[in-house]
């Protein structure tokens, strides 16, 4: 289902990714991750990084999957491991 939604996008606007990433619904936060991964949007990993600490395990896994797929080692000067640390 998520793949079908991603395929509906012709392009991924940063504002749309931000809206999805900040949504109250876990499924839409997961869609944000899938969009960034599908379109290889390294410019938007800063919007996904906070989801590494999301309250829902499927969103955390998706956010980490984005970082792994895109080969991201750090975001905004912080290593990915720092984003995963409890806050």
pLDDT along the chain (87 residues), means of 10: 61 88 95 92 96 96 97 93 81
DSSP string, 4-66: HHHHH-SS--HHHHHHHHT-SSHHHHHHHHHHHHHTT-GGGHHHHGGGGG-SSHHHHHHHHHH
Note the pLDDT of residue 84.
85
| Structure token digits, residue 47 | 């919007």
Query: Which pTM value belongs to this model?
Result: 0.86
């Amino acid at each position: 289902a998520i793949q079908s939604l991603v395929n509906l996008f012709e392009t991924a606007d940063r504002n749309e990714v931000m809206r999805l990433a900040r949504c109250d619904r876990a499924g839409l936060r997961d869609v944000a991750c899938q969009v960034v991964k599908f379109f290889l949007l390294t410019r938007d990993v800063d919007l996904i990084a906070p989801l590494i600490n999301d309250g829902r395990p499927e969103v955390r896994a998706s956010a980490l999957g984005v970082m792994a797929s895109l080969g991201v080692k750090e975001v905004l000067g912080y290593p990915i491991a720092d984003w995963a640390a409890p806050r």
